[in-house]
């Protein structure tokens, strides 16, 4: 296993990490086939055997807490210090008007319930699951810092926050001398690239914010199941499920087929190609995967050792034909390309290039 530091924190997370969204149940009925407790425990065991140390969860996962209970049961057989355990808070957990959002009341009450379900004394990482427009941001920042002071969490983070929301957060933490979030968990895949490649890089580089990528297989579109299908071959249910992707890119099935052919040329699976591509994005610290099949855990983890050279990456870009619009005047480079260039440049290694890449 390979590890990277998570943002500016001192924590090292496995380059591929494990998510548990559908473990034990399905909140809001987002799937008719959640992962059973037994299958979940088998996958967690396989992940740990392969060296994965970061397990991600949320209070709402598994239909309001069941995923946390499964993880809590699992980690009792291990040394707690070997894991990076995260959970999240924000979404409604009951009909109680205060059992939702990022108010100080809800955050303080939710962490105690989460720790009880996980059977642990602390979280390594606690996410604000979404931005809460109904609560003053300063109240949320103070609440998260309270939990750090109380020893209930080591770090706090955000999930799917916009750059402007993060900048305001860093402004508050700087002004008040408080701890800032260490990472943002962001939806990122070959068909949803804007956040990681356009919106967040300046903020992430300037503040040392880590990026945890999730939904890497694009709602299962890139699992390999749909490699040989055309758009008209999809079931009504699939078309509804993938509607947001299809509406933005009517040629998406053709692109998946091209990616599958490229994976075959490389003698790897499509998911392995996707994970390898994602892990080589400079801003990404770790990539979340989730599955019900232990064999898939092993297959996906093998992508760590797959190196995609510039020629292969250009073939991927040619197949996708959705590269984000360049943001540097007079060049054809995206910000991701440019940051990678700066970090690899010999002058960066001797400290001549400043660490704040936004200055370029």
Residues annotated catalytic, as ranges: 61
Residues with Cβ within 8 Å of residue 132, at least 6 apart in sequence: 90, 101, 102, 103, 140
Backbone angles phi, psi at 159, to 5 degrees: -140, 120
How far is Cα 107 from Cα 128, in angstroms, rounded to an integer?
9
């Amino acid at each position: 296993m390979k590890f990277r530091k998570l943002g500016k924190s001192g924590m090292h997370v496995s380059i591929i990490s494990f998510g548990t969204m559908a473990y034990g149940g399905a909140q809001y009925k987002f799937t008719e086939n959640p992962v059973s407790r037994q299958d979940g425990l088998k996958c967690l065991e396989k992940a740990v055997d392969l060296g994965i140390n970061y397990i991600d969860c949320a209070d709402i996962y598994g239909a309001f807490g069941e995923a946390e209970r499964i993880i809590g049961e699992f980690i009792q057989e291990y040394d707690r210090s070997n894991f990076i355990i995260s959970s999240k808070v924000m979404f409604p957990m009951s009909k109680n008007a205060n059992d939702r959002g990022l108010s100080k009341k809800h955050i303080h009450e939710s962490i105690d319930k989460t720790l009880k379900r996980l059977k642990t004394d602390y979280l390594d990482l606690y996410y604000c699951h979404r931005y809460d427009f109904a609560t003053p941001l300063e109240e949320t920042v103070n609440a998260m810092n309270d939990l750090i002071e109380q020893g209930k969490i080591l770090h706090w983070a955000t999930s799917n926050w916009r750059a402007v929301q993060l900048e305001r957060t860093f402004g508050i933490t700087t002004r008040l001398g408080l701890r800032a979030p260490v990472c943002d968990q962001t939806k990122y895949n070959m068909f949803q690239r804007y956040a990681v490649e356009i919106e967040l890089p300046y903020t992430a580089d300037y503040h040392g914010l880590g990026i945890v990528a999730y939904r890497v297989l694009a709602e299962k579109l890139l699992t390999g199941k749909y490699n040989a299908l055309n758009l008209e071959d999809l079931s009504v249910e699939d078309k509804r499920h993938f509607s947001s992707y299809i509406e933005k890119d009517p040629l998406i099935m053709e692109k998946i087929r091209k990616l599958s052919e490229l994976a075959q040329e490389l003698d790897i699976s499509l998911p392995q190609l996707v994970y390898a591509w994602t892990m080589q994005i400079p801003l990404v610290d770790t990539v979340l995967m989730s599955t019900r099949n232990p064999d898939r855990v092993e297959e996906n983890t093998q992508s760590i050792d797959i190196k995609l050279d510039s020629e292969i990456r250009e073939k991927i870009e040619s197949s996708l034909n959705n590269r984000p619009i360049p943001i540097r005047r007079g060049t054809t480079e995206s910000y991701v390309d440019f940051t990678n260039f700066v970090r690899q440049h010999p002058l960066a290694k001797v400290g001549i290039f400043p660490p704040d890449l936004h200055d370029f």
